[in-house]
Structure 1
Amino acid sequence: MAGIHDKFLSLWLVLTSSLVATYAELQTFEHSAKNDGSLSFLVLGDWGRRGAYNQSEVAVQMGKVGEKLDIDFVISTGDNFYDSGLTGEHDKAFAESFTNIYTAESLQKQWYSVLGNHDYRGNAEAQLSKHLRKVDSRWLCLRSFIVNAELAEIFFVDTTPFVQSYFTNPEGQNYDWRGIGSPRAYIAKIIKDLKLALRESNAKWKIVVGHHAIRSVGHHGDTQELVEKILPILKEYNVDFYMNGHDHCLEHIDDTESELQFLTSGAGSKAWRGDVQETNSGHVKFFYDGQGFMSVQLTQNEADIAFYDVSGSVLHRWTTSKLLHSSA
Structure 2
Amino acid sequence: MARLNGNSMIMWFLFAIMFGLGNFHASAELQRLTHAPKNDDSLSFLVLGDWGRKGDYNQSDVAYQMGYVGKKLNIDFVISTGDNFYDNGLTSDRDPNFEESFSKIYTAKSLQKPWYAVLGNHDYRGDAAAQLSPFLRQIDSRWLCLRSYIVDSELVEVFFIDTTPFIQDYFISPEHDYDWREVNNPPKAYITNLLKDLAMALRGSKAKWKIAVGHHAIRSIGHHGDTRELVSLLLPLLQANKVDFYINGHDHCLEHISDTASPMQFLISGAGSKAWRGDVQKRNREDVNFFYDGQGFMSVQLTQTDANIVFYDVNGKVLHRAMYSKELHSVRTKEQLLSII
**Common fold by TM > 0.5:** yes
2:193 alignment partner, SS class: helix
**Contact 1:215–1:282, Cα closer than 8 Å, also in 2:** no
CA distance in 2, matches of 1:150, 1:20: 32
Aligned residue among 230, 252, 255 for 1:251 = 255
**Contact 1:249–1:266, Cα closer than 8 Å, also in 2:** yes
Counterpart for residue 58 of structure 2: 54
Task: Mark the CA change 1:278 to 1:154 in structure 2 (over 3 Å): closer, same or farther.
Answer: same
- Following superposition, the deviation at residue 279 of structure 1 comes to 7.6
Of residues 159-168 and 318-327 in structure 1, the stretch that sits farther from structure 2 once superposed is 318-327
Superposition pairs for residues 228-239 of structure 1, below 5 Å?
228-239=232-243
Superposition pairs for residues 216-295 of structure 1, below 5 Å?
216-278=220-282, 283-295=287-299
Aligned residue among 37, 40, 46 for 2:41 = 37
Counterpart for residue 152 of structure 2: 148
Aligned residue among 147, 157, 162 for 2:161 = 157
Counterpart for residue 104 of structure 2: 100
TM value normalised by structure 1: 0.92
Counterpart for residue 202 of structure 1: 206
Unpaired segments ≥5 residues, structure 1:
1-18
- Following superposition, the deviation at residue 149 of structure 1 comes to 1.1
Counterpart for residue 16 of structure 2: none
Counterpart for residue 9 of structure 1: none
Q: What are the superposed Cα offsets for residues 235-257 of structure 1, whole Å, 9 maximum, x if unpaired?
A: 00000000000000000000111
The residue identity in structure 2 corresponding to 1:174 is D
Alignment partner of 1:83 is 2:87 = yes
CA distance in 2, matches of 1:22, 1:82: 34
The residue identity in structure 1 corresponding to 2:34 is E
Alignment partner of 1:175 is 2:175 = no
- Following superposition, the deviation at residue 134 of structure 1 comes to 1.1
Query: Quick one: percent identity of the two aligned structures?
Result: 68
Compare CA radii of gyration and give the structure with the larger one.
1
CA distance in 1, matches of 2:25, 2:308: 39
Alignment partner of 1:322 is 2:335 = no
CA distance in 2, matches of 1:139, 1:216: 28
- Following superposition, the deviation at residue 305 of structure 1 comes to 0.2
Aligned pair count? 309
Task: Mark the CA change 1:313 to 1:197 in structure 2 (over 3 Å): closer, same or farther.
Answer: same
CA distance in 2, matches of 1:287, 1:22: 41
CA distance in 2, matches of 1:107, 1:302: 24
CA distance in 2, matches of 1:235, 1:246: 21
Q: Tell me how large the CA RMSD over aligned residues is.
A: 1.4
CA distance in 1, matches of 2:314, 2:303: 27
The residue identity in structure 2 corresponding to 1:176 is D
**Contact 2:25–2:189, Cα closer than 8 Å, also in 1:** no
The residue identity in structure 2 corresponding to 1:179 is E
**Contact 1:309–1:315, Cα closer than 8 Å, also in 2:** yes
TM value normalised by structure 2: 0.89
